[in-house]
Amino acid sequence: MKFLFLDIYKKSSSRISKDTAGGYGTENSLGDGVLGKSISWIVKNSVFWPNLSFMQLIEEFEIRGNECIYLKHIGVKEKVSGKWDAIFVCSSIVCFETEIESINNILECTSVPIFLCGTVAGHLKEKVPKGIIILSGNYEFFPETLEKENKKLGDIIDHEIIRVQNGDTEKLQLINWKRKGLPKTKNWFLGGGKPFFPFIATRGCPYSCFEYCTYPLSQGRKILPEKHSSVVEKFKILSNKYGKAHIVFRDPVFSINIKQAKLLLKSIGDANLNIDFTAELHLKNIDDEFIDLCKHAKISWLKFGIESAIESVRNSVNRYSIANDDQSRIINKIRKAKIKTVGMFILAQPEDTVDTCNATIDYACKLNLDLAQFSIFTPYPGTPYFNKNKTKINVSIYQDFNQYGLVYDHAEISKKMARDLLEKSYRKFLISKFTRLNF
């Protein structure tokens, strides 16, 4: 069979990622002043990778003998040429209306089955055209699910939503990142200009921050790890094929099972691979042995969410966290091991004020981080916080849910104030970095 995989993006001066926020996506619009727009432009031209589940789905269909074509479109295309047995469209919230408009145009010139891939579409199904099949959850396992149930695509075209839970991670194919039509994946900041590839070894997250976090929505709250031996064998192939590549683990929390994470790190280090890594974790799930094993495995960057400097603000959205003093102590240990750090912060949370946001910005500047990422609290459709606060949502266009603009009525912070705080955060952090440099 012949399948078309469409990856549709709205036009934007900022970097759009459909892989972040559990596949809902983000748009790195980092401020409205000269500095914010300049950093946004740099990020847009320095960082790109597509949705990992969508790319994995291509590989899983292709290994089963199907012809799969990937196309990245900017804006809405009026027609889709060629004869296809099915069309798969990558769904996100950050490009939602553009994707739907494109699907409506496709429907005017074809009657083949169309699959909208992504959990967000299931929570916005009233906006999805009739007859479109929504693939949600860990949909990269969809071809395996069809095999297990002894079904073909034609057997399920009358379904409205198909929720794919999980599958055999060891059987997942390595993604062909040199696929025709796919722009070169890159991350100049974390990868230093090296060949760059995202990879996921553990799906799912059970933490209490599912109150506002979308990863449990898309991947589930049950942990689904891949065996460390299988992961290392895949990395050996990447190491031999792409020397000096940089791999970014896309696990929601890399160290969620610290025992298994240590075993994986030791196995990676023992394999003496010609690649290095970035991983995102929780500062609670880290100790001295873990840091030593990170060095052994050539982990060059560690990312972690701090969100707010104020405990009551974190507690208001059930943020699973540790005390500020412990955060600072662990970050210093990581830096002492010569591993670079990225702290992630969220401004304009429900219990935030301008003063607490400023305290978070000041705290980020004091932590001696290599990079800081600031965003604005976004209540995504499908999350418990969104469901409890629907009346506070003040935008009607879903692709405005980009994590860098205020989309709900805040008790003390306006849309403009939130954007001003965002610009201020990057300005103050960069000044703090500059003043710490030794000339």
List the CATH number of the domain containing 40: 3.80.30.20
CA–CA separation, 20 and 92 (whole Å): 10
Residue 157 resides in a domain: yes
Residue 189 resides in a domain: yes
Is there a single domain that holds both residue 116 and residue 162? yes
Is there a single domain that holds both residue 222 and residue 296? yes
Compute and round to an integer the Cα radius of gyration of the chain.
21
Which domain covers residue 410, as residue numbers? 34-48+175-436
Is there a single domain that holds both residue 149 and residue 248? no
Is there a single domain that holds both residue 130 and residue 230? no
Is there a single domain that holds both residue 232 and residue 277? yes
Is there a single domain that holds both residue 152 and residue 244? no
Is there a single domain that holds both residue 185 and residue 332? yes
DSSP-derived 3-state class of residue 224: strand
Is there a single domain that holds both residue 131 and residue 264? no
Residue 12 resides in a domain: no
Provide the token pair at 46: 């320095």
List the CATH number of the domain containing 91: 3.40.50
Residue 206 resides in a domain: yes
Residue 20 resides in a domain: no
Query: Residue for token digits 């690649």?
Result: 275
Ranges of residues in the chain with a pLDDT under 70 are: 77-79, 437-439
Provide the token pair at 243: 């020397």
CA–CA separation, 257 and 202 (whole Å): 9
- Of 169, 185, 201, the domain-final residue: 169
Question: What pLDDT is attached to residue 77?
Answer: 66
The closest alpha carbon to 279, from 321, 361, 334, belongs to: 334
Residue 258 resides in a domain: yes
In contact, 432 and 365? CB cutoff 8 Å: yes
16 CB neighbour count, 10 Å cutoff: 22
Residue 21 resides in a domain: no
Is there a single domain that holds both residue 125 and residue 214? no
Question: What pLDDT is attached to residue 76?
Answer: 73
- Of 169, 188, 217, the domain-final residue: 169
In contact, 57 and 63? CB cutoff 8 Å: no
CA separation (Å) from 271 to 229, 234, 240, 249, 275? 11, 11, 12, 17, 11
DSSP codes joined into one string, 40-109: HHHHHTTEE---HHHHHHHHHHHTTT-EEEEEEEES--S---S--SEEEEE--STTHHHHHHHHHHHHTT
Question: What pLDDT is attached to residue 80?
Answer: 75
Residue 219: partners with Cβ closer than 8 Å, 6 or more residues away: 22, 137, 138, 203, 204, 205, 252
b/e sequence 380-415, b meaning 16+ C-beta within 10 Å = bbbbebbeeeeeeeeeeebbbbbbbbbbbebeebeb
**Domains in the chain, number:** 2
Is there a single domain that holds both residue 277 and residue 416? yes
Is there a single domain that holds both residue 113 and residue 179? no
In contact, 85 and 21? CB cutoff 8 Å: no
CA separation (Å) from 176 to 63, 163, 180, 222, 277? 12, 25, 9, 28, 19
Is there a single domain that holds both residue 326 and residue 300? yes
Residue 396: partners with Cβ closer than 8 Å, 6 or more residues away: none
